[in-house]
Homo-oligomer: A and B are copies of this chain.
């Protein structure tokens, strides 16, 4: 038994979709979430920059004495996971491998599409992970850089948002993929819109669920679950916590009680 908290971080709000699933799967754990709102977005920045941001956050979480860190951000997982695992003293789990494993299980025709940020697409993290799992899988990738601002501002639900979704997904439809990885933690928010556009024969993979199971398994294997805990959530943001609190509603569908400001560096 290990009563230490689990750390979770993202460039901003998107990782809250992961936090929500984690808190449902592990209702007795203390969860600490860090949203890097001073450096958001990561998806258009370099590997060097994203790695520096991620290391600063992971070191902060280490100081909070977490027992495990979840990188609830595809870009940071794609660009910085190896570096984090090298330099951080507790286990660090990213979202890429769980998502790729689920997709490899789901696909029947061996065609998988990934929609993600520019940086995640360029890193080729998903195609590489999928190839390692099954050499026959063919991966199509599409960067959708406008999705994140549209989701954060709540615009995606308007008619223009629908058109942008349709436009971005055109190539995904052409790729004939039967499985599409939502390769950015913001995208589950518009899962229904994406599903409506692609049709129900296409399976959407949202790594939150499989990631939460992975975290649970890892903690159980090392006897680090906290079965008698009361469960809690503490949220930090590196800038503008009031704005974070307000926009979190667009992601979580409910109000956060409090967001703490924590500047790094």
Residues of A within 8 A of B (CB): 37-40, 44-46, 48-49, 118, 145-146, 148-150, 153, 155, 158-161, 163-164, 167, 239-240, 243, 265
Contact = CB atoms under 8 A, between A and B. Distances in A.
Which 4 A-B pairs give the minimum distances between C-beta atoms? Answer: A160-B163, A160-B160, A149-B149, A46-B240
Contacts of A146: 149-150, 153, 155
A197 B155 CA distance: 19
Given A38-B49, A146-B153, A149-B149, A44 B240 contact: yes
For this chain, the copies found in one complex come to 2
A164 B160 contact: yes
A77 B39 CA distance: 20
A48 B164 CA distance: 34
A60 to B, nearest CB: 17
Given A160-B163, A160-B164, 5 more contacts: A46-B239, A145-B153, A146-B153, A160-B160, A160-B167
Given A167-B158, A265-B265, A243 B149 contact: no
Contacts of A163: 158-160, 163
Contacts of A158: 163-164, 167
A41 to B, nearest CB: 8
Contacts of A39: 38-39
Nearest to A48: B239
A38 B243 CA distance: 20
A45 B49 contact: no
Nearest to A143: B153
A120 to B, nearest CB: 14
A148, A153, A265 interface centre (most CB from chain B within 10 Å): A153
A45 B240 contact: yes
Contact of A149 (B45, B145, B167): B145
A265 B44 CA distance: 20
Nearest to A148: B149
Nearest to A50: B239
A149, A155, A161, A163 interface centre (most CB from chain B within 10 Å): A149
A170 B77 CA distance: 40
A113 to B, nearest CB: 20
Given A39-B39, A146-B150, A265-B265, A239 B45 contact: yes
Contacts of A164: 155, 158, 160
